[in-house]
A and B are shown apart, each in its own frame.
Chain A
């Protein structure tokens, strides 16, 4: 890998930026790999990177049905935070947050992680109580999260309206200062480039059509670009997890819903942080490009359509305009949906499956982007050692039989 630096930038500027090398190869799939990762989104590429870097597994390929980061990695609102209620979740998401801090340097790729703070608004006594409970639980887990009065919230985010006559007035806010945003495409590209440089084959336009088993062990896969024999198979395909699990002969506690987001026309810097409100259902930040990035809710029914209903974004925009009257005349430019894999307890599944040699990382639902580095790091450990890392051990598939659920429904930003 040719390193990116100020010197290579200057050198390439002299030649009109015509001589940059490709960031990763585009190899033909081989007929056998020790490990294959299905899914070339952020989580899958991160898994491949850490497998190669920390576990020395280089006989490794990532298969992507379409293009890298074209699924939920490229469709989310890029919010990063770790102020989850339960100890298991706090450990999981903070593991990722600590990796975010050094990620650009680690990958030699600017992922534009910006810890501008994530502020979650409370609108009623119940919100105030639950957020304060979160803050206390977070403090016990060593995770920063602090309470702001309405005036302090307004000082942190000046466009916010704290008008007491609003339909849902702001009663206060919980602020995680280490939270923020990152550039979603750059995360996929950075991991892809770094993994490729360690010898990982990244194969796009390659869809898995069948999973081969001998007894209870996985032996290979059929793809649109031929058969591949594998020793171990990792599935990281978000909304399509149930489809892949069915190919392998087991069921998942997952339903897939379209989750919508939209962006406005670009404007000059106006919005300094991330603001979320579970109660009125809105979340918003401003990208470095200048557009407001707005997250809406899921549809109420299972779907793979990647569209979403218009009433869902109407609902969110009503809330945005009430919280930020300054944006009432902004024009929205684009709207889309990603298919999110929602579990009954709104916590992910990272671990082994009933099929030996087959591992799954799914169920991140409406909030997986924030966990990308941690998810890949832990999943790589799980695949390489055939046992979970202590951080992801509670997030196994067996918890749905044992009843030891990790209920984060209240922490999820999106109303389900």
Chain B
């Protein structure tokens, strides 16, 4: 079980949280302009990296707030926690890009 550092409540057990999946997927501004393939990419295609993964978590049984988290999917080590709407930490973003993730 992960111990997740909620930015509002501090470290708590994973059972208090709900994982909201991959972060930074933006709803297309003009859905009508999208091809079927582009729409499928938004709806269904996922990075699923073996390495740094940026994901959303919800503290369901705590403060009831969402936040972003960066985690290494090989060993499940949590690398960073940052606010919803913020960009991932630059160093981790570079690491993900080098590996071709995201």
Selecting from B24-32, B42-50, B79-87, B90-98, the interface stretch reads B42-50
Contact with B along A299-310 (1 / 0, CB 8 A): 011111101011
B21/A305 in contact, CB under 8 A:
no
B73/A305 in contact, CB under 8 A:
yes
B23 CB to closest chain A CB, in angstroms? 11
- B2 lies within 8 A of chain A by Cβ: yes
A401/B73 in contact, CB under 8 A:
no
Contacts A252-B45, A253-B45, A401-B39; A304 near B2 (Cβ below 8 A): no
Contacts A400-B40, A401-B36; A305 near B46 (Cβ below 8 A): no
B19/A304 in contact, CB under 8 A:
no
- A242 lies within 8 A of chain B by Cβ: yes
A242/B73 in contact, CB under 8 A:
no
B73/A302 in contact, CB under 8 A:
yes
B39/A309 in contact, CB under 8 A:
no
B48/A256 in contact, CB under 8 A:
yes
Residues of B contacting A: mostly: mixed
B74/A253 in contact, CB under 8 A:
no
CA distance A243 to B74 in the complex (A): 13
CA distance A59 to B1 in the complex (A): 46
**Which residues of B lie under 8 Å from residue A300 when comparing CB positions?**
14, 18-19
Query: Which residue on chain B has the smallest CB distance to residue A397?
Result: B40
- A154 lies within 8 A of chain B by Cβ: no
**Which residues of A lie under 8 Å from residue B74 when comparing CB positions?**
304-305
Contact of A255 among B46, B50, B100 (CB under 8 A): B46
**Which residues of B lie under 8 Å from residue A310 when comparing CB positions?**
1
- A240 lies within 8 A of chain B by Cβ: yes
CA distance A105 to B49 in the complex (A): 41
**Which residues of A lie under 8 Å from residue B37 when comparing CB positions?**
401
CA distance A254 to B22 in the complex (A): 12
**Which residues of B lie under 8 Å from residue A311 when comparing CB positions?**
1, 14-15
Query: Which residue on chain B has the smallest CB distance to residue A245?
Result: B48
Listed from nearest, the 8 A-B pairs whose CB atoms lie closest are A253-B44, A242-B48, A401-B40, A251-B45, A300-B19, A401-B36, A309-B1, A301-B19
What are 28 sample pairs from A and B whose C-beta atoms fall under 8 A apart? A240-B50, A242-B47, A243-B48, A243-B50, A251-B47, A252-B45, A252-B46, A252-B48, A253-B44, A253-B46, A255-B46, A255-B48, A256-B73, A300-B19, A303-B76, A304-B74, A305-B73, A305-B74, A305-B76, A307-B76, A309-B2, A311-B14, A311-B15, A344-B43, A344-B44, A400-B40, A400-B45, A402-B36
